[in-house]
Amino acid sequence: MTRKTHIRAALVTATAVVSVATVTAGISAATPEKAAKPSKKEVAALFDKWNATLQTGDAEKVADLYAKDAVLLPTLSPEVRTDRAGIVDYMEHFLENKPRGEKVKTVINVLDNDSAIDAGLYNFHVTDPETGEKRVVEARYTYEYEKRDGKWKIVNHHSSTLPEG
């Protein structure tokens, strides 16, 4: 190879490297950045949305807030719900009591841009559908949220009556 051929080859290689770097930089610039981590206030609002959806009395709408593979360990049932049909079934019975949740203590951990945990204590104000008697159920809770396809979903929800003591 002559000196001229070496220089030409070096120029072609350098041009290729610059072109690849330019294309890569262009792709990086065109790729949207992931959203910032949600604030604790934003995570807390997910419960408010869930609670407001309870007020509609529509079990299907409540179930829409859960991921397809969500797990629900409900307050007033010993049965673990692991699919939409189970969640809807529980909510149909739960909603007969006209529940309204009220947080008493909350601890929110934002894990990353797409996941957070909200745990604590809440009271459920319920009305017996047969007698009209109102009562408060004290409970502890954990909601695990994940952002899926751009929407926050409940992936794990545990709620149990507060133990005595």
pLDDT per residue of the chain (165 residues) written in tens, 0 to 9:
554 544 444 444 444 444 444 444 444 444 455 668 999 999 999 999 999 999 999 999 999 999 999 999 999 899 999 999 999 999 999 999 999 999 999 999 999 999 999 999 999 999 999 999 999 999 999 999 999 999 999 999 999 999 987
- Stated pTM of the model: 0.78
Which CATH entry fits the domain spanning 40-161: 3.40.50.2300, 3.40.50.720, 3.10.450.50, 3.30.460.10? 3.10.450.50
Nearest of 120, 137, 139 to residue 128 by alpha carbon: 137
Write down the pLDDT at residue 134.
Answer: 97
pLDDT at 33: 57
At 165 the pLDDT is: 77
Kindly give, in sequence order, each residue whose CB lies less than 8 Å from that of residue 82, ignoring residues fewer than 6 positions away.
69, 70, 71, 72
Q: What are the sequence ranges of the domains in the chain?
A: 1-31, 40-161
Beginning with the edge strand found earlier in the chain, give each strand of the sheet holding 66-73 in spatial order. Answer: 66-73, 151-161, 134-148, 115-127, 100-112
